Each structure stands twice: as structure tokens, then as C-alpha cells.
Structure 1
């Protein structure tokens, strides 16, 4: 059993890094990410969002539901940084999940004299200089295994190293690209977003198409200011144009693709998505529907259709300019969506049950496996729409960077455990060196009342019993707590800026840390109280007022009784005749009949 402890600050970076990657390599196979640039936001903030939608445990028997702070560190000349294997990369290298070795080091790179402090989970999130990051997985045509000393990098290590070493988004992209060119890349296709307070970039990565080639392939593109980028398990960069100042790409990209026989200048512009990927995976619309949904919510004036011809559609642009500027609560809301009000509304219809439950268990054909190749598409027996707010979410966050404030104050990681629709985003300052202990521990295989993940996941699952009633209470409390946090952050901003201006950096750090820890604790306490209230109120199919003790027995809605054959239940003795009758609808009406009435006479009345 893992003991409940706070964040430990290690004095030697090697041990710190080992523990970070020992604990936090995890499955993130179905994420949704976005970046809102300053020109697209209401107050000039940069927002980067990520949902960590993983369903499995890695081979270290530690799941991906907690948060880790990695402190800044100084390093001696000649020191080496280990590069750890990620068992959730899709690679079978180094023993994979069957390995008993918990120290799978694929190689080493030269350490730098100083590394920055940052927050990480499955991937890097935010560092002390307001550099933000987010990740989502894509399927590539070629996904090579790791090879010690040859293909040593996956996106998880790349994102963490970028936050250790960089302060600017373009600098991070160039570092990541250089590491891939030099040391190779293995595993699934990946998208990483890097953003600083002023600029945001997307880098998309895959294995080389030639197994003998030790490197990987990558293309990066700048997100125009005033626009919003969205990705959801499909590469989003299309034409790669030499000389484009807003694009960077791997060494000799065009020559290597031409040598591999997958592209030539005669084919026209290089379409990155088409060349290296078959598009979305699992089933049609698995990825594209989420991109459509967020873009359509942001820019309804574009009249984007949810229906496309295939995975390679160009119906959804790389970025969109929102019809209205996005504020912080609006950024949160992008992750809180089950397609409400659309043809794909998961809170409506028979599958939502009697009380509008928008969550679906994974069906046999909802798996994260490629369903198409160069020539064929596998038409599977069925699928559920994949929403932005998925029930298997480990955590999500919206990271905020503000150019008008000093780095320790301007960067805020709004972290939400468990499912996005029912979570509460808690503020964590870039200048904080600790968080509430509830956010640093937890395992999905063992319920722990004190952990942030189980605090929120328990209430989401309880709400499924009577979702249409409980969700209004949950979202009201959620809105109250998040509004309170925003107001408290504004006040803490002012206090911390005054301390920094007065030269008291240590006092500012204490203030930011104390606020971060206390606010996280308060949110957890409030959610425990809410959970207790809703458990009492909605137990056993009843609605019990916990104050007055009044009890209601609301039963099921008439629609549901009709759809489930309630009217064919044992309400008369000629039950076989009733069940054979067909065509009856539940009306809610009661009639009286003589005890000796025939079925024909009864049927006329009902």
C-alpha cells in the first residue's frame, strides 16, 4: 500500500527524476487538447488544456491519477540525465509490461547546468517560467519499438525535458525536435502543445518510416495569435511548405519521405497527415467529432458540419477564431461536454437510461485500435460517440499563462481530478512548491477517501444513479467553488506581486505555496460534504431531504416506463394475453374492471 505523504523535494536531481518517472509514466491514449492564444482570450491569457483519458495501469503498478512537483536543481559538469522507457508508449521494448525491472533506462543525454521546477503527471504540465504543455496520442502508420541507445525517446520524456530546460514555446519545440533527430523516437504518434505567455506551437511526432533509420519524424506549426487549436487523437497539421516561417520540421524531412517512397515533389505539397497516418482511430468520428464539437462551440458562425467524407477531411481548419473571446470559465467548459443539444447527445435517448446518464461503458468495438489501412476500413458491429468528457478520465487541467505578471504569479495550473464534467479545477501557482496532499497520491485499484481522484470519481459514479437530478446540484457547487477560486487568485496575485516588487521573493513563494495547498484542501473538504449530502438524498431510489427527513418516491419517468415494457408487467391475471397483445403504451391512467372481465374487455379500457 502506498502511504499518504506530501510532495517530497529531493536534493539530487537524479533521484528526483527517477522517482518522477517511476511514479508517473502512464496511459494517456485518448486525450483531447486545446490552446487558446492571448488574442483569443478575454483577458489576454494563454490557456492550454489537456484531458488525461487513460484506462489502464502501467507495469509499475502505479496509475496515472496524481500530480508531482519536480523542483529546480543544479547539476555538476559531466552529469548525465537518464531517459526512461514509457510502457504506455505502445512499444514492446525492454520487456514492456511483462518486465520485472522498474529501472528501464534506454539511454542518457548530457545534463544541463540548471533545470527548472515544474509540475508533471503522465506528461509535463507547467514550469516555473510559465511554459505550458499538453499531449494527445495519435495512430501513425509506423510505430517502432524502443531500442536502447538508438530509439530512446517517447513524448512523455520529451515534454518533461522541455519543461526542465526551456522558457519559451519555440525553444521547447526546437529542443524536442533536436532530441528526436539525435536520439530517435519510438511508440505511437503524438501531439505536444507548448505555449508561453505570448506564443503557442504544436509539434506532431511519429516513428521513422524506415526501421533502419534511428530517428523519428516531426513537424511543428505555430498557432496564430487570436486563434484556438484543438486536437483529439488525430494529427492536425496538413501541408508542410518549405520556407514557411511558422513551420519547423525534422532534418531532411522531404528527402527521407521521398527515399521511403511515400512522397515525391510530383505529388504536390506534402500532406503530413496523409503521409504518416491513416487519420483517426478506433472508429469513424472518434477523433473528428470532438474537434468539430469544440470548434463549433467556439465559432458557430462557421456552420461546421459534424459529418465528413473520411479521416482526411479538410472541413475543420487547423485553428479557428472564436466568435467571442474565451475567458477562464469558458476554457473549463470546453472539456465539459457530452454533445448536449446535438444529434449525438449522450444525455438523451434510451441508452442514457431513465435519468439522462451521459456516460457509456466501453463496448467491445470502442477499443483504441486502428481500424483502417491504405486499402481497407474495418466496419465494426457498432460504437458509441466519443465525448470530450469521458468517464475514464484520470485528470484534466487548463494551464494559464499571463504575460502581465511575474512568472511565479502569472502561471496557474487549474487541475481537475477524475471526470471533467463533474470535477472542480483547483488553482496551483507556478511559484508554488507544494500542493494539497490529496492531489499527490492515489491508485485506481484501491479506494482512498483522502485522495483527490477518488473524492471526485466517487461522486461522478454516484450521480449516474439519478444524473438528471444530481448534476444540477453538482454543477452549482462546482461553479461556486471555481468562482471563489478565481476571486481568491486575483487577491493572491496582488499580494504576491507586491512582495516580489519589494524584493521578498521568498515571502511570495511562501504565500503562493500556502494558498495553493490551502485552496486544494478546501475544495476537497467541500466535495466530501457535497458527496455525503447527495448520498443521503438519493439512496435506495428515494429522494430524502437530509434536513427535514421528508421522503419522496419519484420512480421512473413515463417515457422510460413505456420504453421498458412496464405496461406489460403483472398488472392483470391474463398475463400471457397481455404480453401477446402488443401495441400498448404506458399512459399512467388507472381503470376499474369487474373481477370476471375478459381480457378483450380489459384491453378495450387500457
Structure 2
């Protein structure tokens, strides 16, 4: 299994099925620019009707077909796969997760003054179109990036900003293996440096916007794969002395401004997977003393990975549901401050600005499953759909940030997430209960489907099953929104709905919060009086200005010059 959250405030959140295709002789594969916002692609070349210009919403912008920035030779056939901003899971059980990382080298794409043709989104799509195993996907992506050049997610800002998104990681799974793949541009801007490490079958690894591969032994091809220039680029740029043990992360990772932004999440996932692990939450910026992976304490399920993705460090010293920043009702969301001053709130695993999250689970009998949850993990239902389906359900494959759309599952979930956030400590247990119950029903249905799968009608069955699952998820969260609004509103908890008169109980404020707000020392009243006095002064000044202007206009009419 692999899992990802696409933490992006402005991304195209649609989940789309790209069908398998047959291509003519001498066909070429267009290469598209890196676009994450809606619509990430417009055209017919991918074969998905959701990307056709005529099917996009009107009234915002007159989108036209996107022009490719290059091309590659196209094989005769390509596989079908599910994609979001990046490629996710193909018909043959090859699955990806993605995490943007910092790197010491960056470059521009060929369409913006550079030489590199491929970004990680195009590499992931190419691999899902053309390969069936993790090893072959790594070999293909590495070869293409070395030949045609790789560029990262940002290249038009200051040097540190460009480096912050210059690297990428893909977690890659097939039926028998799981790998972590790191990549960055080389120092010529026309190629790439990359490395990959295989996980032991009992282990869990966590990538949280930072490289995690340290010591590399390319002579051990069972465990490591890498580019031929891996050592040379590091040596000639002074990233490695050529004599000490080669550490990929130490050599190529750009030190982050906030050292715990990534390592704290890495620590959290590893210790959730193995609670007996003696791993300190404090480490250096590169997590140098953290293992690449750790054995899981028990065999993990998709439900375990969903639980990890919904985490806010509950029960730890960094619990985001606690403290003044969480407010009186324990909201774990920490919004951007609007300016950068070197300080940051703790970065949760589940974050409000996620476009979607998912757990990809590979099966041998053709029923690999993608548990997909539009919006933030703590405010979504993970709903099973299938890469062998002929299409994705409309509620997943349509919608945008340009307008609220009640038929889009993202917006249904966002309404629940935003509603529950206001009175989180009261409302979220109700959300969690619905998540647990509905996801358990989905799991039971998935077990029945796998047990009774009919190969001759599998595509149709999986398509219909995905439709039914997404419809059930949407109904469940529409009902949940009604429940939340009924039970928690205007500072009250409403209960006992079977009685003639419901019970309406004030939520109240905890004493610690009232103390912090100055309730007990009267300072909140002083602030009110200060605001009142300021308003009175402003009103007085405004009235005086109005009378003055009125008088001035009277003076000007008599022929005097008024100096303003």
C-alpha cells in the first residue's frame, strides 16, 4: 500500500480515469507543461472526456486546448490509470504516492528558458502508461529524466524558494515490492540525479516533503537503484568529499527553514506504525539519525493508513487540538498568518488545505483499490474506487475551486470540514463516528466483491461499484452536515430529539481560555472601551471633516482659493 495527501490550496482536485489506448504507427506522446490549478489539462489526447474543453464550466474563462511543450515516441498501447494532480494507480496494480522535497539544484523547464522537458507529474503518468512493476517504473522515469531533463515545482522566485520545491519523491508499489524514489535536476539543467531504495516487506517509510534515503550502495541492486551521475554531481559541486560514506540526503537536500516541518511528521508516522519504537521527535534538519524505514508492529490495513493521515499529533506535546491557537473548541487547523516572519505553527499530517488524499492498495486478482477522499483527511470519507473501472464517478471527476457545486464530493466534504471545525471538540466525534461506520461498510463490500469477482464482467462491476460507493459517501456526508448544523450551532449543543422539547445546552468556554482572553481580569472590557473610544474619535473626526468640507465648498463658491 501507499498513501498521499495532495496538500494544495489552489490545485485541481478532480480524480479522473485515463483509459487504455491504442496508438498508430509513428505516434508521438505529447508532453504537457506543469499545471496544477484547474483545469490542469484541456484537450482530448488523454482520452478522458472530463478534460474536453466543451465539458468544462462556462462563465469563468474561455479555456482552449493546451499546447504541448514537447513529445516522445509513443508505444503501440498504453495502460489505463487513475490520476489527480499526479498519476496514482494503473490497471496493472502499479501505484504511486507523491511528496515535494527541497533540493540543492534547480532548473527551469524548456518552455520557460531552460532545457528540462519533464516534471514529476509527467514522469508519473508516463510510468503508469507504460509499465507494470515498480522496478520498471523507476528505470523508465530515471532514464527519461536523464535523457530529456527534469525540473521541479518552482523556478521563478528567489534561490531558496526555487530550491524548496526542486526535488520530488514518489512512493511506488506493485504486487510484490515497495520503493521510495527521489529525483532532482542535475547541475547542467538538462538531465537529472535520482536514487531509489526498496523497503523490506515488513516495513513502513514516511516521506513528509523531505528526502529520507541516506547511505546508498548501488552495488546492491536488490535494494538500490540510481543514476550513473549520482556521485559525480555531488563531488563536483562540493556536496560530498568523495571519501566519506555517501549520504544522498546530506548531499542533495536543501536545508529547510523549519527543521521540524518534515521530521516531526516522519517521526509521528513511524511511531504510530510501531508504538514501541524508541525514536526521538527531535533530530537535525535531515533526520540523519532516523531510519529509512521501520518494521510495523502489526500487519497494517488501509484503515490504519487512513488513521495516520487524519492525525494532528493528538496525545503528544504537539497536539494541535490543544492550546490557545486551537481556540476554545479545539480546532486543529492552523491557517497561514499572511506574512512570513520566520515562525510557524506545527505542521499536521492532516491539513485543511488538502485537495484530496488516498490510500492505494494493490491486489493480485485485478481488484486493486483506491480509497480516495476529496478534501482534508480528517474531514473526508475514504471511498473505494477501482483503476479497472471504465471511468471515475462524476462526483469525483468534476468540480473546481471556481464555484461551489453541491454535486462535487470535494465540496460536500469541505462543507462538513468547515462546519465541524468551528466547534471541533463537540462536532468532530460525530464526524469520526460516521467515518468509521461508513468506511467499515465499504470494506465489507470490497471483501464481498473480491470474493465473488467475475472476470468477464469485472470492468462493468467495478465501475458500478465505484459509482455506488461515491453516491453513498455523498449521501452520508450530506446527512452529516444536516446533523452537525442541528446539533451544534450558535454556541449550543442540542440533544434529546425524541422528547417533546429538545435540550439546548450552552457549550460554554473552558476556564483556561477565559483566562487567556482576559475575561477574569476585565481586560476584555478595557479592549471594548478602547475600541468604543476609537470609534467615537473616528466618528467625531468624520463629522468634523464633513462640516469642514461643506464650509470649504461654501468658501470656494465665493471665489476664494482653498488649499487642500
When normalised by structure 2's length, the TM-score is 0.82
Q: Match for 1:194 among 172, 176, 189? A: 172
Deviation of 1:365 after TM superposition, in Å, equals 6.0
1:449 to 2:406 alignment: yes
Q: Does 1:384 find its partner at 2:384?
A: no
Is the CA contact 2:487–2:494 (under 8 Å) kept in the aligned structure 1? yes
CA 264–106 in structure 1, closer or farther in 2 if over 3 Å, else same: farther
1:135 Cα deviation after fit: 0.6
Q: Secondary structure at the match of 1:204?
A: strand
Secondary structure of 1:236's counterpart equals coil
Aligned equivalent of 2:325: 351
Equivalent residue for 2:230?
Answer: 253
Listed as ranges, the matches of 1:233-252 within 5 Å are 233-245=209-221, 246-252=223-229
Aligned-pair distance for 1:533?
Answer: 1.5
Partner residue, 2:207: 231
* 1:448 to partner: Cα distance: 1.3
Work out whether residues 214 and 247 of structure 2, in 8 Å CA contact, stay in contact via their aligned partners in 1.
yes
- Structure 2 residue aligned with 1:171, among 125, 136, 139? 136
Tell me the SS of whatever aligns to 1:566: coil
Give the Å deviation of 1:559: 2.8
Secondary structure, in 3 states, of the residue corresponding to 1:394? strand
Residue 290 of structure 1 pairs with residue 265 of structure 2: yes
Distance in 2 separating the partners of 1:347 and 1:201? 34
Name which of structure 1's ranges 140-149 and 124-133 shifts more when overlaid on structure 2. Answer: 140-149
Residue 363 of structure 1: how far off its partner (Å): 2.4
State whether residues 140 and 276 of structure 1, in contact with CA within 8 Å, keep that contact through their aligned partners in structure 2: yes
Residue 297 of structure 1: how far off its partner (Å): 1.2
Contact 2:517 2:524 in 1 (8 A): no
Distance 2:306 2:251 in 1: 34
CA contact (8 A) 2:234 2:252 kept: no
1:154 counterpart = 2:119: yes
- The alignment status of 1:74 with 2:22, answered yes or no, reads yes
How far off is 1:87 after superposition? 4.1
Is contact 1:304–1:315 with CA below 8 Å preserved after alignment? Answer: no
Q: 1:141 Cα shift?
A: 1.1
Matched-pair contact (CA < 8 Å) for 2:193–2:229: no
**Which residue pairs with 2:476 in the alignment?**
526
* CA distance in 1: counterparts of 2:68 and 2:323, whole angstroms: 50
Aligned match for 1:127, one of 90, 94, 104: 90
Q: Which residue number corresponds to residue 277 of structure 2?
A: 302
Partner SS state of residue 302, structure 1: coil
Partner of 2:8: 54
1:554 to partner: Cα distance: 2.9
Alignment of 1:363-442 (within 5 A): 363-364=337-338, 380-403=341-364, 406-407=365-366, 409=367, 411-442=368-399
Distance 1:171 1:222 in 2: 13
Query: Which deviates the most, 318-327 or 253-262?
Result: 253-262
In the alignment, structure 2 segments of 5+ residues that lack a partner are: 38-62, 153-165, 530-564
- Alpha-carbon distance in 2 for matches of 1:397, 1:570: 47
2:306 and 2:511 map into 1 onto residues whose CA distance is 35
After superposition, where does 1:449-528 map in structure 2 within 5 Å? 449-496=406-453, 499-500=454-455, 505=456, 507-528=457-478
Q: Any unmatched runs of 5+ in structure 1?
A: 1-46, 57-62, 90-99, 367-379, 577-606
Q: Is the 8 A contact 2:91 2:387 kept in 1?
A: yes
- What SS is found at the alignment partner of 1:274? helix
Check if 1:567 corresponds to 2:520: yes
In the TM superposition, 1:182-221 aligns within 5 A as 182-187=147-152, 188-211=166-189, 214-221=190-197
Contact 2:218 2:226 in 1 (8 A): no
State the Cα deviation string for residues 302-335 of structure 1 (Å, max 9, x = none).
2111112x21332211000012221221121110
Q: Per-residue deviation at 1:572?
A: 11
Q: Please report how far the alpha carbon of residue 262 of structure 1 lies from its aligned counterpart in structure 2 after TM superposition.
A: 3.5
Q: What's 1:323 paired with?
A: 297
Following superposition of structure 1 onto structure 2, how do residues 259-274 of structure 1 map, counting pairs within 5 Å?
A: 259-266=236-243, 268-274=244-250
The offset of 1:150, in angstroms, is 3.5
Quote how far apart the aligned CAs of 1:413 are: 0.3
Render the CA deviation track for 1:3-56: whole Å, top value 9, x for unaligned.
xxxxxxxxxxxxxxxxxxxxxxxxxxxxxxxxxxxxxxxxxxxx1100000123
Q: Name the CA distance, whole Å, in 2 between partners of 1:571 and 1:422.
A: 33
The CA distance in 1 between the partners of 2:185 and 2:35, in whole Å, is 16
| Deviation at residue 393 of structure 1 after TM alignment | 0.8
Given that 1:365 and 1:381 are in contact with CA atoms closer than 8 Å, whether structure 2 keeps it comes out as no
Query: Contact 1:426–1:519 at 8 Å: present in 2 too?
Result: yes
Deviation at 1:163, TM superposition (A): 0.6
TM (norm. structure 1) is 0.76
Shift of 1:106: 2.4
Aligned to 2:509: 556
SS of aligned partner of 2:261: coil
**What is the CA–CA distance in structure 1 between the aligned matches of 2:83 and 2:357, rounded to whole Å?**
12
Q: Distance in 2 between matches of 1:298 and 1:572?
A: 49
What is the CA deviation profile of residues 261-281 of structure 1, one whole-angstrom value per residue up to 9, with x for unaligned ones? 433423x122111221224x3
Deviations 1:419-477 (A, max 9, x none): 11121110012321223211111212311111111111111111122110111111001
- Give the aligned partner of residue 54 of structure 2: none
Q: CA RMSD in A?
A: 2.2
Q: Is the alpha carbon distance of 1:439 and 1:87 closer, same or farther for their aligned partners in structure 2, counting shifts above 3 Å?
A: closer
In structure 2, distance between residues paired with 1:264 and 1:552? 67
